[in-house]
Amino acid sequence: MTERIVIVGGGTGGTVLANRLTERLEPEIDSGDVEVVLINDGEKQFYKPAYLYVPFGKKDVSEASKPIRDLIPRAVDFRVDRVERVDTDRKRVTLASGGGLSYDQLVLATGANLAPENTPGLVEGGHHFYGPEGAEALREELAEFREGHIVLSVIGVPHMCPAAPVEFTLMVDDWLRKRGLREDVEITYTYPIQRAHGLQSIADWVTPIFEERDVNLETFFNVQEVDPDAQVLETMEGKEMEYDLLVGIPPHEGSDLVREAGLGDDGWVAVDQHTLEAEHAEDVYAIGDAADIPTSKAGSVAHYAAGTVAARIASDVRGEIPTASFDGKTVCFIETGMDEATFVSFDYGSEPTMREPSKPIHWSKLGYNESYWLTARGLI
Amino acid sequence: MSESISPDVTVDSRGAACPGPLMDLIGKVQDADPGTVIELQTSDSGSKGDVPEWVEEAGHELLDTVEHDDYWSLYVETTK
């Protein structure tokens, strides 16, 4: 009987996993003993880190997507459909198109969803660069912005691309300086906890840079409400801040699918942080943003976690004891302006070592953005 | 005193690294009515510093901190 591995979600984690599984299980797939099904609710994959460049006119949103079919081997049964329910007792998923599909192994790679509506007034009063429409609208707004107060407020934590708010702040500072507008623009960066970033070393590194570049830093700043008419932010700590242009990192949500399946109360799948196996069901894994693990919601995490899960499932299929383990490996580039960058690398329980920003690292980031699609295909 | 505190809500953030526990608490406080007692369970020792600091900043009340074998319980009462 054919063993069916079902992957839900065609983002970075989903396509890397589909590639790695077909590579590891090629003989079993060829003989019909194993099949790999990838289900995504659209034809395309979106490379979200590219949206950071859109507000500055450095990239177009059309560059940030590719058909999933081009990113996975023919051996993968790719279905455009939406999984509406997961029954972990019967080991079956229900599809929006009707009917269902049973699985032997299920991997949830359903990502994170933006939920700006969770903060009253944010949709009407704020901009963001976390999606194609948002990034394009922010580009239009920035192009016309000549003077006033730009506030970059991290409203939702956890959020995707943990370095992106710092990057945007340093990029907009540099971009305005190069355009001769910086003297007429005040820039403020706000963060929910008592320092500038969740990772202590990034906070320690960026705080003096903000000072040097005349960026105001406001901490313990948890936006409760946005007044879009008065253009004022109100916080849980009782503070108020006026803005002319608000770039708000919106709250993120996990998936109702996960919550309703009893796999995680907050919509993120509760997993063992090393094996990535669901804590509340058998033969269910989660990778990428969907997994509730103590590291960043970053593409690199999805990428490396997919490698671990591919190895574990392949061992399991062959009747071996799975030994592959995920150590929380995370790698992020951090733009520090329009032409310099640094990068960080860390794993569970470790803090990154900060490196001096340079032009070559910036070029590496741009180069990686171009070659990202090789990652999605499991090649790098 | 700690033995007698019975929380309305318990947030289990054990295993989460900083700033996970504080952010979990902030999320719960945001949704809570005034007078709600929240127990934050954390295994990150940094929480013993940053949680009281935020609770004071936001004007809520830290009722007690209780040390267990491998985690701490911080009891917070919302005031607004």
For chain A, domains (ranges, CATH) are 3-112+254-317 (3.50.50.60), 117-250 (3.50.50.60)
CATH number of the domain residue B48 falls in: 3.30.110.40
How many interchain CB pairs under 8 A, A with B?
Answer: 42
Q: What mean pLDDT comes out for the span B47-51?
A: 91
Q: What share of chain B is helix, strand, coil (3-state, %, to 5)?
A: 35, 30, 40
B17 interfaces chain A, CB cutoff of 8 Å: yes
Alpha carbon distance A331, A345 (integer Å):
4
Contact flag A237-B58 (C-beta cutoff 8 Å): yes
Of A256, A236, A289, A134, nearest in space to B30 by CA = A236
Q: Beta B9-12 vs B37-42: how paired, if at all?
A: parallel
Spell out the alpha helix ranges (H) of chain A: 12-24, 26-30, 122-125, 132-144, 164-178, 200-212, 256-260, 299-317, 359-376
Question: For an interface test with B, which of A220, A225, A296, A346 has the most B Cβ atoms less than 10 Å from its Cβ?
Answer: A220
Query: What is the per-residue pLDDT for B3?
Result: 57
Range of the domain at B8: 2-77
Residue B1 is predicted with a pLDDT of: 46
Q: Is the per-residue pLDDT at A69 higher than 80? A: yes
Pairing of the two strands A240-242 and A232-235: antiparallel
B17 vs A224, A237, A349: nearest CB: A349
What three-state secondary structure class fits A257?
A: helix
What does the pLDDT look like over B63-76, one tens digit per residue?
Answer: 999 999 999 999 99
Question: ipTM of this model?
Answer: 0.89
CB of A158 within 8 Å of any CB in chain B? Answer: yes
pLDDT tens-digit profile of A269-291? 999 999 999 999 999 999 999 99
SS3 A102: strand
The tally of domains found in chain B comes to 1
Which residues contact residue A125 at a Cβ distance below 8 angstroms, ignoring those fewer than 6 apart?
A226, A227, A228, A231, A246
Task: Kindly provide the residue ranges of all beta strands, DSSP E only, lying in A9-119, ordered along the sequence.
Answer: 34-40, 44-46, 65-67, 77-80, 83-87, 92-95, 100-102, 105-108, 113-114
- CA dist A365 and A358 (Å) reads 11
What whole-number distance in Å separates Cα of residue B13 and Cα of residue B47?
10
Using one digit for the tens of pLDDT, what is the confidence trace for A196-233? Answer: 999 999 999 999 999 999 999 999 999 999 999 999 99
Give the gyration radius of chain A's Cα atoms: 21
Selected catalytic residue, list B5, B9, B16, B18: B18
Residue A252's closest CA among A278, A288, A219?
A: A288
Residue A276, pLDDT score? 98
